[in-house]
A and B are shown apart, each in its own frame.
Chain A
Amino acid sequence: MCRILSYMGTPVLLDHLLYAPDSSLLNQTTAAQMLSMLNLAGFGMAAWDPSSYEPHVPYRYRTTQVAVFDRNLKELAGKLRVGALLAHIRGVPMTSTVQVNEQNVHPFRFHGVPLAMAHNGDLAGFREMRFGLLPHVRPEFAQAISGSTDSEWIYALVVSALPDPGVINSPEAILAAIRSALATIRAVRERHGITRSSSANLMFCDGVNLVAVRYTFDFGRFEASQLQGTTDFLSMWYTFGADYGLHDGEWKLTGGAAQADSIVVASEPLTRDFATWIEVPEYAALVVRSDGDRRYAQIHALDV
């Protein structure tokens, strides 16, 4: 399980998203509110700065270092103003069988493909089922897979289903590709008799569109021995407004919904106070499309 943060809107200092809020993404490395595990297996981000050279190409940063100790990231975050962001900290079971390396750090973004993706969750039985996914992955993307995670395969499935992965696609095309990938995974799971709850909470961003997916295969079908106090770690939250900053001692988006042009989506609220955060519904995608300087958001059901 991992933690994800995405943003789209008026450019803001990266530090204010990654570090400043009382439950910021980097604070969630050791003290997530909705996930009782440490997220120590790497940090990564794709950050779009509209004032930069080739603004449609994101600044990418991936490290296996625990990001709270990363001085380079802290310095960078104090200089970069982002209009779109997809950031991720990786949490893995504390066992020597897990591979902690840069290739497994999210977000994934194949060379020449504008769409980036980060994942919170895991696919049960992935090692048994992954070769059943291969026929649905374009050969050039199958060759591009360099890590050992289920997440990179989900990404490969989605971009393989895009009509033209090399361009910025419409939100409809991205959503159709996500549906196709989820349907493929469901079919392959069934073929392999995999029924254990497997979450595929996904966030996609290409600098223009942001798609946040809250989806779990066989939700609630946990191992009998696995005590499930809550399923909060599978939730996803968003908030929007016109002005992101420190207001009345709290980091939040203010200015009213009607004037809103900025949106934050995350696997849990960035502040201890949830008052202005709303959940993305289960089995659904929040689709945010840029329209000039404004954004348009809509919930889409995912019946796959």
Chain B
Amino acid sequence: MGAVLRTSEHLSRLAPEALAELVQSADRFTIRRGDVLFRQGMAADALYIVTSGALEISTRIPGDTAATVSIIGPGDVVGEFALLDDGLRSAGVKAIADSEGLRVPKSRFFALLADGKPWTLELIDALRCLVALRTRATLARIGAMTRYDLPSLRAPSQSSAFGDTLDAVPLFASLGRLAELGADGAAQLVSHGTCLTIPRGASVSAFESEQGMLTLVLRGALRSFLPRREGLEQVMVHGPGEMTGLVGLFDGARQPLGLEAAEETIVLQLHQTLFEEMRRSADPIALALFTAIGRQLVRDQRRANRHLGRAVSLEQFNQHLGGSAI
């Protein structure tokens, strides 16, 4: 079992001691071919790590059609959202071969995290990386689609100068998503970052930019987009308390989406070096920030999947008209 985990694409970054503690703290699961591990829409109560066999991940789209997302095998992880947010299962999983592996119950994991077990910090960082990689893969699939609705595209943004924002700390008081940071956390982040006021319609960062910056929305909204030949395809809108730039920060590659201001927006930007310093820290403020980052990664992955599902299902819905447009 340990050998499988050491060669796992997702878990090999954990130190050997951390892997050993993970194995010791987890339950074993076995599942027969054809049985369901969990269904889409169920409460998410555990993370699963496959050590042998094969599982099929599928999701349902409008019309109640099941679409296979992927087949996973030894070393792969599934159900990772359970340890990152409180949402329901976003996909269903069933065994297509007799399979077994490790089950990490959510309640036990958070008890050990609260006890400050170092391996829990390593594992949750690996899971955040995994979700970031999955979001990048989903966005790449969306970008590779050659058919898209022309009326849904937008005109490119006009670049504008940004203004400075003074005293951004009070703005944190209205951000329910970041309530765990508290006033001290807000003050610390503001003291290490740059606050900007961005006019509506201004470009914040280009598609595939190398920008290593965490951008936190304090007021207003940012739009992330994919460029198409005929205009911009909006993929997500980030409101107050949300963060952007996470995929590039976690995997170190170019940003998979461009960014512009959907409204006049006040943001706090934190540099990559600070992000890296806080990433595996057990400091309470870092833990609170990265808990919010974990939720944001899951939210973004859900949105990217919905965007993909929308595009695929609308194309099917309209196929009887042979692609004619309104």
Beta-carbon contact of B64 and A256 below 8 Å: yes
Which chain A residues in 180-226 approach chain B with CB under 8 Å? 195, 218-226
Q: Point out the residues of chain A lying under 8 angstroms from B241, CB to CB.
A: 228
Give the complex CA separation of A256 and B312 in angstroms: 12
Nearest CB of A to B94, in Å? 15
Beta-carbon contact of B234 and A224 below 8 Å: no
- B229 at the A interface (CB under 8 A): no
- A171 at the B interface (CB under 8 A): yes
- A229 at the B interface (CB under 8 A): yes
Can you list, as one digit per residue, whether each of B227-240 has a CB less than 8 Å from chain A (1) or not (0)? 00000001001011
- B40 at the A interface (CB under 8 A): yes
Q: Point out the residues of chain B lying under 8 angstroms from A171, CB to CB.
A: 326
Q: Point out the residues of chain B lying under 8 angstroms from A296, CB to CB.
A: 317-318, 321, 324, 326
Beta-carbon contact of B63 and A222 below 8 Å: no
Beta-carbon contact of B62 and A241 below 8 Å: yes
Give the complex CA separation of A230 and B292 in angstroms: 13
| 9-residue interface stretch from A79-87, A141-149, A276-284 | A276-284
Give the complex CA separation of A295 and B310 in angstroms: 16
Q: How large is the interface on A (under 10, 10 to 19, 20 to 34, 35 or more residues)?
A: 35 or more
Which chain A residues in 226-259 approach chain B with CB under 8 Å? 226-231, 238-242, 247, 252-259
Most chain B C-beta atoms within 10 Å of own C-beta, residue among A224, A273, A278 = A278
Name B92's closest neighbour in chain A (CB-CB): A275
Q: Which of A219, A225, A239, A301 is B62 in contact with, Cβ under 8 Å?
A: A239
Beta-carbon contact of A301 and B239 below 8 Å: no
- B128 at the A interface (CB under 8 A): no
Q: Point out the residues of chain A lying under 8 angstroms from B170, CB to CB.
A: 224
Beta-carbon contact of A221 and B175 below 8 Å: no
Q: Point out the residues of chain A lying under 8 angstroms from B314, CB to CB.
A: 257, 297-299
Q: Which of B219, B320, B326 is A289 in contact with, Cβ under 8 Å?
A: B326
- A291 at the B interface (CB under 8 A): yes
Which chain B residues in 181-236 approach chain A with CB under 8 Å? 217, 219-221, 223, 234
Nearest CB of B to A231, in Å? 5
Give the complex CA separation of A220 and B242 in angstroms: 11
Beta-carbon contact of A275 and B60 below 8 Å: yes
Give the complex CA separation of A258 and B64 in angstroms: 11
Q: Point out the residues of chain A lying under 8 angstroms from B310, CB to CB.
A: 278-279, 281, 299
A-B contact pairs, 8 of them (CB 8 A): A219-B262, A258-B63, A278-B61, A281-B307, A289-B326, A294-B320, A299-B152, A301-B152
Given contacts A222-B240, A276-B64, 10 further A-B contacts (CB under 8 A): A221-B264, A227-B173, A256-B64, A257-B313, A258-B320, A281-B237, A283-B234, A299-B152, A300-B151, A300-B152
Residues in chain A within 8 A of chain B (CB atoms): 171-172, 195, 218-231, 238-242, 247, 252-260, 272-279, 281-284, 287, 289, 291, 294-301, 303
